[in-house]
């Protein structure tokens, strides 16, 4: 099963948020750089960071992904919401779901199909959550609708895509990388609500250092609307 990929476009992503029940006082904004001056202009608090990075041999090298294989359940808070990706090109919407699902107390989701999906899947395994997403018609239709918007023409469902979204959130005193292609969240160390943005920027920099000649990295953040 494949979806039309979502563009890394804050306006499109914000529309998706509001359609699934996120109050309009929250939105998605561009992150223009990881240096302190660029981070300082973002509205606070930043609840999540999403990185779009180009898939390459350097990014996909086994040694770069060893930590995802080495994680054991004891290093992951049981309160982290994580789902597996079984749908091609769904990584953008899954990154948004991960961002929202791990910040429900702050966001105060309105009644709607995202809240219903999270309530239905809160006690399930990451695999079961991913399998239910395949059948979540309301979320699927919302993704399809928003994937047609943006600044570039949407590719077809079967067009090969060479970019991937991952989400970063702070939960229970640690920063987690959430990538539905992996078996579990990755714990990137101690973090707090106050330091999360800088911590997320640090992890994004690590991605960039793996493939320094590559320029096609993009970042967006979940923040209050100004």
Positions annotated as catalytic residues are 91, 164
List, as one string, the DSSP characters of 63-126: GGSHHHHH--GGGS-TT-------SBT-HHHHHHHHHHHTTHHHH-PPSSHHHHHHHHHTTS-H
Name residue 55's beta-bridge partners: none
Residues 6+ apart with CB under 8 A from 80: 102, 169, 171, 172, 176, 178, 185
**Which residue do the tokens 């229970």 mark?**
172
């Amino acid at each position: 099963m494949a979806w039309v990929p979502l563009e890394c476009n804050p306006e499109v992503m914000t529309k998706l948020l509001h359609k699934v029940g996120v109050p309009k006082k929250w939105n998605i904004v561009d992150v223009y750089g990881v240096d302190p001056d660029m981070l300082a202009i973002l509205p606070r608090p930043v609840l999540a960071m999403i990185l779009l990075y180009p898939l390459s041999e350097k990014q996909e090298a086994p040694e770069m992904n060893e930590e995802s294989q080495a994680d054991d359940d004891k290093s992951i808070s049981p309160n982290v919401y994580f789902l597996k990706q079984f749908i091609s090109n769904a990584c953008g919407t899954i990154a948004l779901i991960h961002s929202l699902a791990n910040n429900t107390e702050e966001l105060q989701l309105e009644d709607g199909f995202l809240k219903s999906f999270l309530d239905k899947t809160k006690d399930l395994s990451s695999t079961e959550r991913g399998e239910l997403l395949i059948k979540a018609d309301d979320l699927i239709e919302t993704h399809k609708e928003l994937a047609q918007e943006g600044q570039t023409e949407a590719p077809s469902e079967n067009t090969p895509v060479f970019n991937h979204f991952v989400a970063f959130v702070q939960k229970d005193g640690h920063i987690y990388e959430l990538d539905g292609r992996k078996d579990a969240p990755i714990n990137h160390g101690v973090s707090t609500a106050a330091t999360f943005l800088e911590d997320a920027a640090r992890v994004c920099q690590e991605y960039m250092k793996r493939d320094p000649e590559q320029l096609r990295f993009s970042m967006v953040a979940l923040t209050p609307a100004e």
